[in-house]
Amino acid sequence: MTDAAKRLIGGIHSVRTAIRHGAGGIDTLWFDRGRRDKRLGQLLSEARKAGLNPQGVDKAELDRLLPDANHQGVVASTEAPAAQGESGLDEVLAALDEPALLLVLDGVTDPHNLGACLRSADGAGVHAVIAPRDRAAGLTPTACKVASGAAESIPFIQVTNLARTLKHLRDAYGIWTVGTAGEADTGLYQADLKGPLAIVMGAEEKGMRRLTREQCDQLVYLPMRGSVESLNVSVATGICLYEARRQRG
């Protein structure tokens, strides 16, 4: 592994996810040799079964590796997760045995928001997250850290032409595209989100681009009862995904 391909992750959940989704990509795993608890012990057992050789170090060394982070007694040096292209999306969809649930991010630029969206997508059982290749956040160290393991567990697809990809999803796979827009006539909770579905979230402040909007089969709005006019994109994403999950049972 080259230095440019490495990143450090910490925390029981993040390291366990990295082990389960590719222990071969982990270069080194360090743990606090002075710590004795069940969760860490289970993680180390899982790591050894996966062929890793965890190295016990002092807690001070872990603090040096990941300063100002809650590493929970374990740090791993691992390959940064890589985005996939359009062919990766086709592979994901071809392997499904249930109606597709996709999240489309139309130009989300803040890596914190991307990481939070990935985390919500993983929790809601989304099969892939799709984003433009240009003028949008990618799988930066910040995004991966905020994602808390979701960057390793959920396919992240970067495409050259988002509108063309949405058309391909409809024509090739029969996937219904629902975009979010404040001026929509239908509320989120009145929309049918049970079939093959791609939920499209617009960028911070600007919302969806015109060409993306034109490829949506339906637009929905999130009911707002207070004084603010909109929600952070990662918060709105979680609400939309979990409403789709609720409808799917």
Task: Give the CATH architecture of domain 3-79.
Answer: 2-Layer Sandwich (3.30)
Mean pLDDT across the stretch 4-16? 78
Would the CA dihedral through 59, 65, 68, 70 be positive or negative?
Answer: negative
Domain boundary assignment for the chain? 3-79, 86-247
Q: 101-141, pLDDT tens digit by residue?
A: 999 999 999 999 999 999 999 999 999 999 999 999 998 87
Q: Whole-model pTM?
A: 0.79
Query: Token digits for 46?
Result: 């899982």
SS percent in the chain: helix, strand, coil, step 5: 40, 20, 35
% of the chain at pLDDT higher than 90: 70
Strands 55-57 and 26-32: parallel
Query: Token digits for 31?
Result: 């743990």
33 and 58 in contact (C-beta within 8 Å)?
yes
Mean pLDDT across the stretch 66-81? 86
Is pLDDT of 68 > 80? Answer: no
The H or E element that residue 75 is part of is strand 74-79
Domain 86-247 coded CATH 3.40.1280.10? yes
